[in-house]
Amino acid sequence: MSRGYRLFYPALPVLAEHAPHRAVYVGDVDGRCEILAWDRRDGTVRQVTDRATGTIRAALDPTGNTVWWFDDDLAGVGRWRICDFGRPDRSVEALPGVAPARHGGIATATDGTTLVGLSGDDGLVLHLRTANGRVTEAARIPGYAYLVDLDPAGRLVAVGADASAGTAVTVLTADGERVAGIAGRPERRVWALGFAPGPGPARLLLVVEDGGGYLPATWTETDGLTRHDWCRFDTEVTAGWFADGRRILVRQDRHARSLLYEVDLDGRTRTVVDTPPGSILDAAVWPDGDIAYIWSDSVTPPQLRSLRGVELPYGPTGPGGPSAPDDTATTDCHRDEIWVPGPGGPIHALVATPTDRELPRPAVFLVHGGPFQHARDAYDPLVEILVSTGCTVVRVNYRGSSGYGSAWRNDFGAGVGLTQLEDLAAVRAHLVAQGAIEDRRVALWGTSWGGYLTLLALGRQPDLWRLGVAISPVADYAAAFEAATPALRELDVLLFGGTPDQVPQAYARASPITYVDQVRAPVLFAISTGDVRCPPAPVEAYARLLAARRVPHQVVRRQAGHEDFDAQSHLALMQTVLLFMQRHFDGVREEGTPVALAMARPAG
């Protein structure tokens, strides 16, 4: 078991298939996410990237000799570069002459042939680079799509799209010829996960949603799709292969926590992998057979664990993350979870309450992003910060959240956003009735889709919420659609049942700007200049409307993309937000956990 070094970005190191002692991972370099090359045999670590905005995407060829990393700008547009594992300071373009685009997937065959997906407004383009460096265009796929995997022989390619569409999964040859398609439906979504390693016929792993549950499936060119109905899960799962191409490692998200299973598809057995209670943010079977995973719980920042006891190395700036476990800042609070009756069924919420204050207390509802994510039993520095100010922190897994089954995840019956507000209001009413929180001192704080719900609630439910913090929010859904990437447009069409031109009333009904004249609570906005997921211009327009009505507000503008991987930037933002709350939200005290200690990793 690891000593608990914090990971700056909660993703597993990537190991070379034929040289598993060589790995690359995202580590902390002066408070930024950067790619580090790690030789596990001799314990050395070398810094690969050094960019002002940080770097989070990297890959290794099967031999471990070549490191790939994505050199993107704040909007996510960039080029892949390559360098020798032993000389990371010398990199060159991996695909010379190919225009910059957004990351759309990368996969490598056994012989080192690499397939790269690059996404643009017109769709996905696949580029093939052979082991000797020859680059060709393999295929063009219109609309939203992403590269899933290249089979070990380098012959077949799996491409994913909207899991509920008729084009959910497409299998092509490496030169672009269509081999097969696996269709999804709104009630039977399909996700492709990757080809089995090793020799023999290509075998693709998938997850199928069916009958309210989730089950693994496999596809081969000769047999087509085979469903493994005996291995059904009641909540969302993902999976990856063991090296034998027969077993899979399944990670299940269930009720804010995670479980791991070893599943033998041929032997029809399912065994729980022993992991501590909490959340598993990433998991994989490494080429050497070790099961590795990123684990966290409410008081422990994300850390690498493995069944063989792998530990992160000491990098250029210390241990494998920004700080060691002995300076973890956790506050003295009571942590609980509740189930509250709601209009769509029982609502699960995580509650953290200061132990040094009498009930009831001021409260902050920390609204998770998504729409299909969830609040986890995992370390969140914002919880520590807010509890230290004297506030109870409530995290609600409203309808649309994953980890509670497909019926809950797909329920938007009252409308996009409006369904989620019903659940937030139900949990708030329950806690007020229980005497746990003060009726007149309840705030909302959300990032991305959570920021959107924050703005929507302030206008739709002005009597319930005393203050709002909206980081990278959507303020006008129709305007955001026009500026969005193909992937986000596809999601919006799924949620609303069409485009803004096709169903304008649905977009207007779900847009915070529709209700801006009803907002009375002070609002802090944080927007990023390079944000293509939640564009800043509609938020600026929303803020101007508040200004015209003299509603207290503050706009923080950052030089960043949708996700900011600079710890100092997060630190500055948190300090600004706390000052805003002290001015506009009664009951927030100045003393408490130092923000610098609580910020274990950037919040995404």
CATH label of the domain that carries residue 184: 2.130.10.150
Q: In this model, does residue 503 exceed pLDDT 90?
A: yes
Identity of residue 29: V
* Together in a domain, 306 and 335: no
Contact 473, 542 (CB under 8 A): no
DSSP states along 192-261: EEEEPPSSSS-EEEEEEEETTEEEEEEEETTTEEEE-TTS-BSS-EEEEE-TTSSEEEEEEEETTEEEEE
Kindly indicate the confidence band of residue 536, based on its pLDDT and cuts at 50, 70 and 90: confident
The last residue of one of the domains, among 267, 285, 311, is 311
pLDDT at res. 588: 66
**Are residues 542 and 419 both part of a single domain?**
yes
Give me the numbers of helices (H) and strands (E) for the chain, helices first please: 10, 35
What's the pTM value of the predicted model, to 2 decimals?
0.92
10 Å CB burial of residue 550 (0-12, 13-18, 19+) is exposed
Mean pLDDT of 442-451: 96
Question: What is the pLDDT at residue 314?
Answer: 55
- Mean pLDDT, residues 502-517 taken together: 97
Residue 87 lies in a domain: yes
225 and 259 inside one domain? yes
Instruction: Report if residue 320 sits inside a domain.
Output: no
**For residues 35 and 21, is the Cβ–Cβ distance under 8 A?**
no
**Is the Cβ–Cβ distance between 269 and 390 less than 8 Å?**
no
How does pLDDT run across 19-46, given as a tens digit for each residue? Answer: 999 999 998 888 888 999 999 999 899 9
Do 78 and 142 sit in the same domain of this protein? yes
- Whether 603 is in a domain gets the answer no
Is 316 part of a structural domain of the chain?
no
Task: Tell me, yes or no, whether 304 and 335 share the same domain.
Answer: no
Check whether residue 198 and residue 280 sit in a common domain: yes
Task: Examine residue 158 and state whether it is found in any structural domain, yes or no.
Answer: yes
pLDDT at 367: 97
- Checking if the pLDDT of 593 tops 70, the result is no
Which of 266, 285, 311 terminates a domain? The answer is 311
At residue 490, the pLDDT reads 87
Structural domain containing residue 564: 329-598
Cβ proximity of 519 and 564 under 8 Å: no
Asked if residue 8 has pLDDT above 70, the reply is no
Q: Report the mean per-residue pLDDT for the chain.
A: 90
Q: Are residues 201 and 335 in the same domain?
A: no
pLDDT tens digits, residue range 323-366?
333 344 566 889 999 999 999 999 999 999 999 878 899 999 99
pLDDT at residue 162 tops 80: yes
323 inside domain: no
Judgement on whether residues 258 and 344 belong to the same structural domain of the protein: no
Mark whether 307 and 335 lie in a shared domain.
no
Q: What is the pLDDT of residue 565?
A: 64
- Let me know: does 81 contact 50? Beta carbons within 8 Å: no
pLDDT higher than threshold 70 for residue 562 = no
The per-residue pLDDT for range 267-325, each reduced to its tens digit, is: 999 999 999 999 999 999 999 999 999 999 999 999 999 999 988 775 444 444 433 33
* 602 pLDDT more than 50: no
pLDDT at position 89, please? Answer: 85
319 assigned to some structural domain: no
Q: Residues of the chain with pLDDT > 90: what percent?
A: 77
Is the same domain home to 270 and 349? Answer: no
Which of 311, 338, 362 terminates a domain? The answer is 311
162 and 291 fall within a common domain = yes
Given this model, what pLDDT does residue 507 score? Answer: 96
pLDDT at 598 exceeding the cut of 70: no
Q: Into how many domains does the chain fold?
A: 2
Q: Which amino acid type is present at position 39? A: D
Q: Would you state the pLDDT for residue 531?
A: 73
User: According to the model, what pLDDT value does residue 473 have?
Assistant: 94
pLDDT at 16 over 80: yes
What DSSP element (H or E) covers 82?
Answer: strand 77-84
pLDDT at residue 601, rounded to an integer: 41
Question: Would you state the pLDDT for residue 331?
Answer: 67
| 425: helix, strand or coil | helix
Q: Kindly state whether residues 70 and 204 are assigned to the same domain.
A: yes
- Asked if the model's pLDDT at residue 6 lies above 50, the reply is no
Look up the CATH number of the domain holding residue 393. Answer: 3.40.50.1820
Q: What integer pLDDT is reported at residue 485 of this predicted model?
A: 82
pLDDT over 70 (residue 597): no
* Residue 190 in domain: yes
